[in-house]
Amino acid sequence: MLSKIISRNLVNLPKFGAVKNSVGLVNQYTRNINHIRNMVDEKLKYQAEELTNLPIVEQTTRVYKPSYTLEFNRVGEVLVYSCDPFQHMTIYFKYPYVLYESFMPMTLFMFLMNPLELAWQYNYINLLLFNVLWIPRLWYFQGLQRRIVKMSLLRGGKAVKFELHSLSGDRNFSWVENYNFHPLTEDQTNFDDRDNADFLAEEGQLKYDLATQLDDFTEYSVNQQDIVVYFLKQGTVHHPELFEAITKGYNVDTSDFVINTAHNLRAREGSTNYGKKGI
């Protein structure tokens, strides 16, 4: 009976407006679906969107002024560091570095043949081991990609572009803002003061394999925090002043610059966004 009374009152509601529930069980106004939304809530949403869309203004006094005129290429980049890390590294594919993977055939045999006649609950441990013993090797291969191939300073002086390679030759590009850099010592500990870090020799090249910790790093569209990347000492530091300023977290004043308009880059290069006319 109660449900019939409620349904009869809801049917008799006007198309627009708000009518108090005549049953008296719910002391509130029942709004029709065609009624306008609460404008107070909508106004708060709009104000929140305005704040979210405001550009981030970075206020910092850590700005380095180079002692010479910077020369950018046609895409607004200047090459600061370059290296071919896999030519100078030993990639471990042999025993004892493959100890974990060497147990995979045995665990698969134990699971399929079950020579010890284990109960199925315990025999499935062999299948589990077969599927997880390759994980340390994957971590090792993934860590090799953190060796920087090229680092270029972008015009504006607040960010750099990384070029990273995988063992299969894939190229990946990442962009990092300068304030994220924190150089580490040779034993990979933090300097007491990163401004006093000394990792460049007199000729401007690296003394050791420099590890730098990044507060924020985006790799394959995944945001990661506190990531360590490496600059091998066998690489070439093309601009020691810029390299030192960047790795110490300074923005670079690029107001004094020229642009090299020489069209000496290969067409359809994966790292560029332009090509020759007619191609």
Per-residue model confidence (pLDDT) at position 132: 87
Q: Which amino acid is at 104?
A: M
CB 253 within 8 A of CB 242: no
pLDDT tens readout for residues 84-142: 888 888 777 776 777 888 888 888 998 899 888 889 888 889 888 888 888 888 888 87
Nearest Cα residue to 244 out of 180, 196, 191: 196
- Total-model pTM: 0.66
CB 77 within 8 A of CB 161: yes
How many Å from the N-terminal Cα to the C-terminal Cα in the chain? 79
pLDDT tens readout for residues 196-230: 888 998 888 999 999 999 998 888 778 888 899 99
Other C-beta atoms within 10 Å of 238: how many?
Answer: 16
CA separation for the pair 253, 239 (Å, rounded): 14
β-bridge mates for residue 223, sequence order: 218
Q: Mean pLDDT, the chain, as a whole number?
A: 79
Residue 276 — pLDDT band, cuts 50, 70, 90? very low
Domain residue extents for the chain: 64-84+147-259, 99-141
Nearest Cα residue to 228 out of 265, 192, 185: 185
Supply the DSSP string of 207-237, one letter for each residue: SS-EEEEEEEEEETTEEEEEEEEEE-TTSEE
